[in-house]
Every structure is written in structure tokens, then in C-alpha cells.
Amino acid sequence: MTEVATDEYSDAHFYKKVWTFGAPIALAQLMTSLLGVIDTKMVSGLGDVAVAAVGVSTNFAFLLIMISFGFLSGLSIFVAQYWGSKDIRSIHKIFVISIIIGIVISLVFFIAAFFFPEFIIGLYNNSGDEVNSVILNDFGVEYLRVAAFSYFTMTITFVIAMIMRSVERVIYPQIVAIFVVLLNTLLNYILIKGNFGFQAYGVQGAAIATLISSGLGTVLLILYLIKSKEEVFKIKFNTYKDISFQFIKKVSEKALPVAINEMMWGLGVSMYLIAFGFISTDSITSVHISNQIMGLFWVINAGISTACAIMLGNKLGEGKLELAKKWGQKFTKLSIGAGVVFGIILFVLSDYIPKLYPQTSSGVQENISLILKVFSFYIPLKFSNALQIIGTLRAGGDTKFVLFAEVGPLWLIGVPLAFILSIFTSLPLYLIIAIVNIEEIFKFFLVLGRFLQYKWVRNLTLE
């Protein structure tokens, strides 16, 4: 296809598109991150061990999110490109496949969390502190057995939001996300400590709040699909009859490596928390809070990276390969620049942020400050790596290389170092985290080098 020079090549057009797609997504990510921060802030009044229990429980849900995200982001590669080529029927097929996969994954995690919560908590509970271990187990089991029901609503929400974002309908999912956060915050306030005359449910109250708010969020998204008059959202489940083995094979070749990628990455991150659990319960608390704060700084790159995936996917699907290449170059510069700016901001604020958790111990607060300083130096690398993995390379279907580049350094360098340093040395927690994150440096050169080869500049709809 011959490309004609238009205003699409201008910086003004590019940044307008980035803002259109990136800002709502960044806002939704901010709402999600704030939800975790608010949860932890309110639970921190119950003590350090309560925070650790919620951290362990939400880490298990994080693994579910990563596996679901893997499948759905892999499938969204096709949704974005089919939207570019206006193939609505194929988008409907992807939606049905996504719903089926999401429900199956949620069911597996529900069974584990509801029927075997003690086993899950026990994986992280290795500090040797008998008193805190018992409390951590009790709190964690209480939380998991309720939160398990929210796994279904979370996954269905992911599927609907993925479809809407990939077809450039990004506003409504973000409005719903804001509603969910506000409702969850209110319910946390009511249920954790028993305000407004309600019974105090403690840690379990946070899980109940999550279940109710996520359930209502899912209902609002389903109602949008039912009421919408747009053809792309008029999805009928008998579409499954049109899904051929050849179609499943085609999408699986791209989606499966992404799913394995995210599953292995999520499992690796979980391994970090298990490793740090060998140090102390306070280490789990410190890392959990630090990761949540990092999540607030991550929102800008989430917006940039997701906008990249949508914009490049659309242009590749339209056959505008040279434009997609130029946009990829702009996105790379934008991501690294944002990483430098936010790294500086995080470093400056690192001594003040722990004061938001005055009810945690002084040791936890000191750990948080030092860990955030370590994170601040790695942010530019993490931003760049995420941009290439989520945005450019996946947009062009280069999923097998992404699997190798992301999972390899994590499991060959990061995870072994985390366990070795946590179990066999007495190094401080922040220094262990600094050493473990060396894997980001290896990953940086792998994915940036692959980006510059431009093998990802491909129109998958023609293959």
C-alpha cells in the first residue's frame, strides 16, 4: 500500500493522539493504583502484619491479573489491527474467545483462593517469626476467601475494557474505573473499622469492599454493551459457531507467547515477595507499600505504552508501516524522557512518602524510603522496557522475542539473586532490591536492540 504524507506525520497530530488514548488510560491506572494505596492506608491502622497479609493476598490476585492481561493483550493486538481494517466480525470472535479464557482462568484462581487459602499464604510466610506468622495466616485467609469471588468480575471487566480501548472508545471505561475507586474507598472506610454504625470487619472488610465495587463496575460495563448502538459492540455469543480452528491457531500463535510471558513475569514478581518473606514480615510490608507507591508513578508510562500499542496496531493494520515506524521512534524518546523526570520526582519525595503511613513501624518506614530511592534510579530503564514490550514489539506481533527478553533476565538473574541474597546473606533489604533489579539493565539492551531492527513493523491482518 502506498502511503500519502498527511498531517499524521506531524508532531501535533502524534501528541494529540497520545493524549487522546494515553490520558484516559493513565487516569484509569491512577485510579487502580490509588485503590491499592487507599486499601493499604486504611488497613495499616490494623498493624504491619495486617498490611503484609493484604499484600500477600493481593499478590496472588496480581498473578491472576498478569495471566489475564497476557492473554488479553495478546488478543488485543488483533483487535487493534482488525479495527484498523474495519473487520468487525473478527473483533466479535476475539471477544468471545477472551470471555471464555477469562472465565476459565478466574475459576482456577477462585478454587485455589477459596478452598486452599492457607497453602497460598504459607508460600509467603517464611520469616520464622511464629507469632506474626500465625497472625499473617489468619488475616490472609480471611481476605482471600472473600476476594476470591471478585476474580470473575475483575476478568470480565478486563475483557470489556480491552475491546473498548482497542477500538478507540477509551472514555467510558475510565469513568467506570473512577466510580469503582470512589465506591471502594467509601466502603473501606465503612467496613474496615465499622464507621456509620456498621460492623467492623477489619481485613475482611477491605475484601468485601473490593468485591462489591468491582462487581458494580462490571455491571456498568455490561450495560454499556447492551445499550450501545455501535456495530462493534453488538456482540452475539452465537459468534462462537463462526470461530474456526484456523482462526484460533492464528490468534494463538501471537497471544499464547504473550500469556506465557505475563504469567512467567507475574510469577517471577511473586517469587520476589516470597524470597523477601524469608527476611521478615516487615520486609513483605515494606515491599508491598513501596510497590504500590511505584504504581502511582507508573501510571504515566502505562498511558504512553498502551497508547503506543493502540496507535501502532491501528496503523500497522491500515498498512501504514513507515508511519508506524516513525511513531515508534517518537514513543521511545517520550518514554525514556518521562522516566528521567519521574525518577527525579520519586527520589525527591522518597523521604516524605513513608510519613503517609504513620501507624507502621519506624523500620518499615525507613525501608520504604530506601527502596523508593532505588526505584527512582531504575525508572527510566523500566519505562523504556515496558514501552517496547507492551507497545512497539507486541503491536507488530513480535511476541516470541518479547517472551524471551522479558522472562529470561527475570528468571535467570533476578529471581535466583533474590533468593540467594535473602536467605544466605544479611544484606539490608534495599541493597538486595538494588542488586536484583540489575536484570532491568540486561532487558533494556535486549528490547531496545530488537526495536531498532524494526522486525515488528508488520501488518498481521495480511498474514
Look up residue 247 and give its three cell numbers: 482462526
Q: Count Cα neighbours of 267 within 13 Å in the Cβ-side half-sphere.
A: 11
CA distances from 377 to 45, 326, 341, 344 (A): 31, 28, 11, 8
Q: Are the C-beta atoms of 166 and 313 separated by less than 8 Å?
A: yes
Q: Are the C-beta atoms of 143 and 210 separated by less than 8 Å?
A: no
Q: Which of 266, 225, 228 is nearest to 96 (CA)?
A: 225
On whether residue 200 sits in a domain, the answer given is yes
Q: Flag whether the pTM goes above 0.85.
A: no
On whether residue 237 sits in a domain, the answer given is yes
pLDDT digits (tens, 9 = 90+) for 120-169: 888 887 766 666 677 788 888 899 999 999 999 988 988 888 888 777 77
Q: What average pLDDT does range 53-62 have in this prediction? A: 83
Terminal alpha carbon distance of the chain: 15
Q: Which domain holds residue 341?
A: 7-462
For the stretch 224-260, what's the b/e string if a residue is b when 16 or more beta carbons lie within 10 angstroms of its beta carbon?
Answer: bbeeeeeebbebeeebeeebeeeeeeebeebbbbbbb
Determine the Cα–Cα distance for residues 210 and 320; give it in Å rounded to an integer: 43
Per the prediction, the chain carries an average pLDDT of 86
Q: Are the C-beta atoms of 365 and 355 separated by less than 8 Å?
A: yes
Determine the Cα–Cα distance for residues 163 and 98; give it in Å rounded to an integer: 10
Task: Provide the 8-state DSSP code for 6.
Answer: -
Place of cell 542488586: 435
Alpha helices by DSSP H, 167-280: 171-191, 203-227, 245-276
On whether residue 294 sits in a domain, the answer given is yes
Residue 183: how many other CB atoms lie within 10 Å:
17
Q: Are the C-beta atoms of 24 and 171 separated by less than 8 Å?
A: yes
User: For residue 6, what pLDDT is reported?
Assistant: 53
On whether residue 436 sits in a domain, the answer given is yes
With vertex at residue 324, the alpha carbon angle to CA 393 and CA 161, rounded to the nearest 5 degrees, is: 65
On whether residue 194 sits in a domain, the answer given is yes
Q: Are the C-beta atoms of 265 and 343 separated by less than 8 Å?
A: no
Residue 4 — pLDDT band, cuts 50, 70, 90?
Answer: very low
pLDDT digits (tens, 9 = 90+) for 332-390: 999 999 999 999 999 999 999 999 888 888 899 999 999 999 999 999 999 999 999 98
Q: Which of 210, 198, 235, 191 is nearest to 95 (CA)?
A: 235
3-state secondary structure 280-318: CHHHHHHHHHHHHHHHHHHHHHHHHHHHHHHHHHHHHHH
On whether residue 419 sits in a domain, the answer given is yes
What lies within 8 Å, CB to CB, of 392 at 6+ separation is 308, 312, 328, 331, 332, 451, 456
Residue 221 pLDDT > 60, yes or no? yes
Q: Are the C-beta atoms of 161 and 173 separated by less than 8 Å?
A: yes
Residue 327 — pLDDT band, cuts 50, 70, 90?
Answer: very high
User: For residue 116, what pLDDT is reported?
Assistant: 92
- Number of domains making up the chain: 1
Look up residue 426 and give its three cell numbers: 544479611
Q: Which of 336, 294, 343, 298 is nearest to 448 (CA)?
A: 336
Determine the Cα–Cα distance for residues 408 and 443; give it in Å rounded to an integer: 8
Q: Is 123 exposed, middle or buried (0-12, 13-18, 19+ CB in 10 A)?
A: middle
More confident residue, 169 or 213: 213
More confident residue, 39 or 418: 418
With vertex at residue 259, the alpha carbon angle to CA 255 and CA 263, rounded to the nearest 5 degrees, is: 175
User: For residue 218, what pLDDT is reported?
Assistant: 94
Residue 190 pLDDT > 60, yes or no? yes
On whether residue 1 sits in a domain, the answer given is no
Most confident of 31-35, 286-290, 393-397: 286-290
Q: What average pLDDT does range 80-84 have in this prediction? A: 75
Q: Which of 86, 69, 463, 91 is nearest to 305 (CA)?
A: 69
Residue 446 pLDDT > 90, yes or no? yes
* Three-class SS state of 136: helix
User: For residue 128, what pLDDT is reported?
Assistant: 64
User: For residue 21, what pLDDT is reported?
Assistant: 84
Determine the Cα–Cα distance for residues 203 and 210; give it in Å rounded to an integer: 11
On whether residue 2 sits in a domain, the answer given is no
